[in-house]
Amino acid sequence: MDGSCEPGTTRRVREHLDSCSSCLAFYREQLELNQILGSEALELNPPEYLWYRIESRMSQAKRESTSSAVLVKLFRFWRVPKLRYALVSSGLLLAASWSLLQYRADRAADQLLLARIDAYQMNVQGNPFLSVLDKPAPPDNPFIDLSPASSNPFESKGNLQ
Amino acid sequence: MLLPISAMLVLPLAAERSNETAKLRIAASQYEIISVLMKNQEYSRVPDEFRKILDLNLSTENEKPLVQATFQVVDGLRQAGQYSTATQIADEALNKLKLSESKYFLMMAKGKVLKDQGRFQEAIEIYRKAQAFAPSGLAPEK
């Protein structure tokens, strides 16, 4: 009808449309749709930033898919049951050994401290208060020497002769 | 003129000293009483007699013999298996004494009691705390 067909075909279609109301209705519908699609109302003017947003989203999606692919590759072994059990059991064994070693080290350190406590002694002989009382008291006035006067220097001089 | 001034300066000092000496004599007597009580295994009477020494409030200058006496009493009670009495005396003395060195020796004495009681973790804990009060001559041991 828009001239894309041969003239004979176009004529036969037009004759059919004159006699078939349902096809005529379909034709009108399509014609109307073509008019709308061809009109300027549908011409979109997207904003400039739209492409940048689309581009960034696309690159982000690409990155995410790449990193998840790496993770999947890394943990591919996890899908193997035997490997998984071996890994889990060795991990548990390591943790148990570490705890046991730590416990033994702590116990050894505790034993050492207890031995030190046990060995601690204070050497005290007799009544400790009496040992203080037996000490000569210092003079009340430090400038006064209360000790007995020394022998007469003149006497000692005399003895020398 | 100088005589009254010097007397004013010297006499209070002398009085204080004689007072402290008297306290030391009482403490020495109390220690003898405690020794007799321990020999006669009258352990329940020890804390009361020991408290009389603590109540004398000896000066920090004379804290050393007090610490030595306390250590001896606590250790004697420990050896006799009187753990609660030993702990009680150590705690009372710890509350009364002021010098950090004194606290160190008494904590060690208490640690020995706790260890003998089988309270190992408490003994270790008090030993570690005691290191903070260790005299300068004794290097802290972790």
Residue A161 confidence class, pLDDT cut points 50, 70, 90: very low
B133 touches chain A (CB under 8 A): no
Structure tokens at A43: 């011409």
> Cα-flanking dihedrals φ and ψ of residue A131, to 5°?
-65, -30
The minimal CB distance from A110 to the residues B21, B65, B124 is found for B124
The pLDDT-based confidence of A136 (bands split at 50, 70, 90) is: low
How far apart (Å, rounded) are the C-alpha atoms in residues A85 and A76?
A: 14
Inform me whether the pLDDT recorded for A96 exceeds 80.
yes
A134 touches chain B (CB under 8 A): no
Confidence label for B80 from pLDDT (cuts 50, 70 and 90): very high
CA B122 to chain A, closest CA, distance in angstroms equals 11
**Is residue B14 exposed (0-12), middle (13-18) or buried (19+ Cβ within 10 Å)?**
middle
Averaged pLDDT for residues A147-158: 51
Q: Does A115 touch chain B (CB under 8 A)?
A: no
The pTM assigned to this predicted structure is: 0.58
CB nearest to A116's CB, from B9, B65, B141: B141
Taking only the tens place, the pLDDT of each residue in B104-141 is 999 999 999 999 999 999 999 999 999 988 887 665 55
pLDDT higher than threshold 80 for residue A105:
yes
Task: Work out the mean pLDDT of chain B and round it to a whole number.
Answer: 87
Query: Which residues of chain B have a CB within 8 Å of the CB of A111?
Result: none
Test A127 with B6 for CB contact under 8 angstroms: no
B120 in contact with chain A, both atoms CB, cutoff 8 A: yes
| Minimum distance, in Å, between the CA of residue B109 and any CA atom of chain A | 8
For chains A and B, CB pairs below 8 A equal 74
Pairwise CB contact (< 8 Å): A140 & B17: yes
What is the distance in angstroms between the Cα of A140 and the nearest Cα belonging to chain B? 6
pLDDT > 80? residue B1: no
Which pLDDT belongs to residue B137?
66
Q: Which tens digit of pLDDT belongs to each residue from A5-56?
A: 788 888 888 888 888 888 888 888 888 888 877 765 555 667 778 788 888 8
A119/B contact by beta carbon, under 8 A: no
Phi, psi of A145 (to 5 degrees): -90, 115
Q: How confident is the model at residue A93, as a pLDDT?
A: 95
Whole-number Å distance between alpha carbons of B28 and A29: 125
> Looking at the predicted structure, is the pLDDT value of residue B100 above 80?
yes
Residue A154 has a pLDDT of 52
pLDDT, position B98: 84
Summarised one tens digit per residue, pLDDT across range B22-73 is 899 999 999 999 999 999 999 999 999 999 999 999 988 889 999 999 999 9
Domain spans in chain B, listed from the N-terminal domain onward: 2-131
More confident of the two residues B98 and A102: A102
| Three-state SS sequence of B98-134 | CCHHHHHHHHHHHHHHHHHHCCHHHHHHHHHHHHCCC
Inform me whether the pLDDT recorded for A160 exceeds 70.
no
Q: Would you call B64 exposed, middle or buried from its count of C-beta atoms within 10 A (0-12, 13-18, 19+)?
A: middle
Does A48 contact chain B (CB < 8 Å)? no
Close Cβ partners of B128 (under 8 Å, ≥ 6 residues apart): A113, B142
Q: Are B128 and B122 in contact (CB under 8 A)?
A: no
For residues A81-105, average pLDDT = 92
The pLDDT score that the predictor gives to residue A98 is 95
CATH architecture of residue range(s) B2-131: Alpha Horseshoe (1.25)
CB B80 within 8 A of CB B43: yes
Please state, in angstroms and as integers, the Cα–Cα distance from residue A132 to each residue in A6, A22, B33, B64, following that order: 138, 132, 18, 9
Of A117, A132, A140, the CB nearest to B112: A117
The pLDDT value given to residue A58? 87
Mutation target for B interface from A129, A130, A143: give the one with most B CBs within 10 A: A129
Q: Is A127 on the interface with B (CB under 8 A)?
A: yes
B123 interfacial to chain A (CB closer than 8 Å): yes
Residue-wise pLDDT for A46-85, tens only, equals 777 878 888 888 888 888 888 888 888 878 777 788 888 9
